[in-house]
Structure 1
């Protein structure tokens, strides 16, 4: 499929919207419960990871805007790690299937789109950008 516009701005914009929603939820939880909340008694690693997402989601947004390749890499790392940690938490404590499904879907979308966005950034220095082909 050929897109009439460069992929990177579209993909990064989508990631930014999704990360902003996640960051909002993490900040809301932090504001309500504080930095050291244990999420109702879960393992400290999981609680620490979820709290750290306050920083990492926001950092990914900034990097997607200012250093796009670093932002793409961090976004990919965040969602893969998040789904892995949440799968472990779900197995240990029970799944919130709706939230887990949304995160897993976002991971699939990221893994399917990060390559074209990355390649598109390599073409940005050309005077005329040809349409990209999604495979």
Structure 2
């Protein structure tokens, strides 16, 4: 349960960060030039991150799978967006932004702790 608590705290923090951006820029913000599908995905994280955090405790196995899918798609989406918008030779500099690195670190933590979280979810019912 400690692992799920850490995952949930990270998801809630991310959700709050997305909410902060929406309060600052509005619900229809394009995130600085993203296409409508990418912008909708980013906006959706405002609601999905906290929802998955709650699901981790209501239905742990579903929440574990949802967390894995959410963080992996988020990292892939963000790296693809950076690759698309970064001028030639600037990908690594832009990808090393603290927010991107924190997402990557959370993804690695989730991957590293998934087995233990899954076994704990099975034991708890």
Which of the five TM-score ranges fits, normalised by the shorter chain?
0.7 to 0.9
| 1:37 shift after superposition | 0.6
Aligned to 1:107: 107
Structure 1 segment 107-126 matched on structure 2, within 5 A: 107-125=107-125
Matched, 1:34 2:35: no
2:74 equivalent to 1:60: no
Shift of 1:93: 1.8
Backbone CA RMSD of aligned residues? 1.3
- The runs of 4+ residues in structure 1 deviating greater than 3 Å are none
State yes or no: 1:92 paired with 2:84: yes
Give how far 1:45 is off. 2.0
In 1, Cα distance between equivalents of 2:120 and 2:57: 15
**Higher normalized contact order (CA 8 Å, seq sep 6+, divided by chain length):** 1
TM-score by length of 1: 0.81
TM-score (norm 2): 0.87
Q: Larger radius of gyration, structure 1 or 2? A: 1
Structure 1 unaligned spans of 5+: 1-8, 126-135
Structure 2 Cα separation of the partners of residues 24 and 123 of structure 1: 31
